[in-house]
């Protein structure tokens, strides 16, 4: 299986599913999921900075993850049950964006 296919499936199934779970559960989200969200946010932030400096390509993708995705995940993971309803709505939007875009990209480019 190609690397890009694995990345797409990871975003469609795991990431999209996890974000949808947190966004729908809102304040009923288990504490472990908030910690997972917080850690994932930091990993996304540093990983995409690393990829940009290592490969120097896909600037738009790296900026999207560093400036939008990572801060959202860190913020909701940090605030936990005190995060606003709007923040959880953004998590749901991120879930659909992740699953939707990567479904499209997998079908179109793989």
Q: Which DSSP state fits 16?
A: H
The per-residue pLDDT for 11 is 97
The per-residue pLDDT for 81 is 97
Q: How many CB atoms lie within 10 A of CB 98?
A: 22
φ, ψ of residue 51 to 5 degrees: the values are -60, -40
Global model pTM greater than 0.95: no
The Cα–Cα gap between 18 and 22 comes to: 6
> SS3 for 28?
helix
The per-residue pLDDT for 59 is 93
The per-residue pLDDT for 102 is 97
Tokens of 58: 């896909």
Per-residue pLDDT of the chain (110 residues; tens, 9 = 90+): 899 999 999 999 999 999 999 999 999 999 999 999 999 999 999 999 999 999 888 899 999 999 999 999 999 999 999 999 999 999 999 999 999 999 999 999 87
The per-residue pLDDT for 56 is 84
Domain boundary assignment for the chain: 3-109
Query: CA distances (Å), 66 to each of 5, 24, 35, 87, 90, in order?
Result: 22, 24, 19, 17, 16
């Amino acid at each position: 299986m190609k690397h890009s296919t694995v990345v797409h499936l990871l975003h469609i199934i795991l990431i999209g599913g996890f974000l949808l779970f947190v966004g729908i559960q809102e304040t009923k989200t288990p504490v472990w999921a908030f910690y997972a969200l917080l850690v994932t946010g930091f990993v996304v932030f540093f990983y995409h900075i690393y990829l940009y400096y290592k490969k120097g390509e896909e600037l738009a993708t790296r900026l999207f993850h560093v400036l939008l995705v990572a801060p959202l995940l860190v913020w909701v993971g940090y605030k936990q049950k005190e995060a606003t309803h709007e923040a959880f709505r953004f998590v749901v939007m991120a879930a659909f964006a992740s699953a939707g875009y990567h479904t499209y990209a997998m079908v179109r480019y793989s």
